[in-house]
Structure formats: structure tokens, C-alpha cells
Structure 1
Amino acid sequence: MSRVCELTGKAVLTGNTVSHANNKSRRRYLPNLVNVTLMSDALGQSFKLRVSAYGLRSVEHRGGLDAFLAKADESELSDRARVLKRKIADKQSAAVAA
């Protein structure tokens, strides 16, 4: 399983650990990923996603999963999240048309 947030696209970064003597050794900065279940109001279903803590705060700040995905850029989303975004958009457009 890759270490990438499904909603924000946050991934592993690399850098150096620098000692007091200025010795440098390579290290990895891992995102704080959490397995969460998020509820979609439009679909009436819950979905299990692997999201960073930052991404979870962003979802809550924007008012839920549906609102987050509506504003999210598709290039940052995982394949599962893209499919979910399209399903929610179709459901909402059908509700507006009816």
C-alpha cells in the first residue's frame, strides 16, 4: 500500500538528517495517514479511505466529504476518490434537475 493520501495527494518526502557535526544522512518524511470512514450525504453511504490528518481537517473545514470533493482538483485525488467525486456530482445534478 502506497503512502499517499487519497484526498490531498500528500506523499512521502525525502531530506537529510543533519547532526551537530553537520554530517548528513538521508531520511524519509512520512505523511500522517489514518484509515477513516467518511459519510457521503448525497449518496447516503460511508466510504473507507486512507487520509492524512491534514486532509481530514480539510474535509471537516469544507463541510464534509461531498463539499471537499466538489472543490478538489482531480489531479490530487486517487482513482477511488475520482470515481466517488463523479458519482456525487451525478447524483447532485440529478437532484437539481428533478
Structure 2
Amino acid sequence: MKHMSKYCQVLGIHAGKGNTVSHSHRKTRRRFEPNLQRKRYFVPSLGRRVTLTLTPRGMKTIDRHGIDAVIARLIANGEIRP
């Protein structure tokens, strides 16, 4: 299992870096956090529920490809245990 601070388990999206720019154009560093949601899915091939940390785009990916295909890829990558 990967242990990064905050990231989408399906797409790998994590926080980006940038600047906050004031009216006078002073720049201070900031983080752009992804919109992460914790969502539980029932996986028929495993016969159990799996909790994933996802972005809404990751949820759309699961809707398109199916939870079994996405979970199979996550297991192959070592992201979750079977």
C-alpha cells in the first residue's frame, strides 16, 4: 500500500503547488488540494465492501469501467489487499 498524504486511489491525483498572488502581486506558496471523498463500494468478485478515497472524476471512472475492473487494477498495483 502506498502511503501518501492525500490522493485519489483510482487516478493518483494529489495536491499541486502554486502561489497565492495578492493584489500587489506578492506571491506566497500554497497547495491546491484535490476534492477527495471516501466512498464504499460492494465488490462482487471479492464478496465484500471496499472503502476508497476518490475524486469525483475517479467515481466517474468507476461508473464507466465498473468496480470489478478498477479493483482488479488496484490489487495488481498493490494499492489494496485482495
Identify whether the pair has TM-score above 0.5, normalized to the shorter chain: yes
Offset, 1:41 = 2.4
Higher normalized helix content (fraction of residues): 1
Of residues 20, 34, 37, the one that matches 1:34 is 37
Q: Which 4+ residue blocks in structure 1 deviate beyond 4 angstroms? A: 70-73
- Aligned match of 2:59: 56
Which stretches in structure 2 are left out of the alignment for 5+ residues? none
Offset, 1:18 = 1.5
Which stretches in structure 1 are left out of the alignment for 5+ residues? 85-98
- Aligned match of 1:8: 11
Mark the structure with the bigger radius of gyration: 1
Q: CA RMSD of the aligned region, Å?
A: 2.4
Aligned-residue sequence identity (percent) comes to 32
Q: For 1:63-95, what per-residue CA distance to the aligned partner results, in whole angstroms no more than 9, with x for missing partners?
A: x21122456783xxx632xx34xxxxxxxxxxx
- CA gap of 1:69–1:9, structure 2 versus 1, over 3 A, is same
- Aligned match of 2:68: 66
Q: For 1:19-50, what per-residue CA distance to the aligned partner results, in whole angstroms no more than 9, with x for missing partners?
A: 23221111110111111101212223211121
Does the residue aligned with 1:35 lie in a helix, a strand or coil?
strand
Offset, 1:11 = 0.9
Q: Could you state the TM-score of these two structures normalised by the residue count of structure 1?
A: 0.64
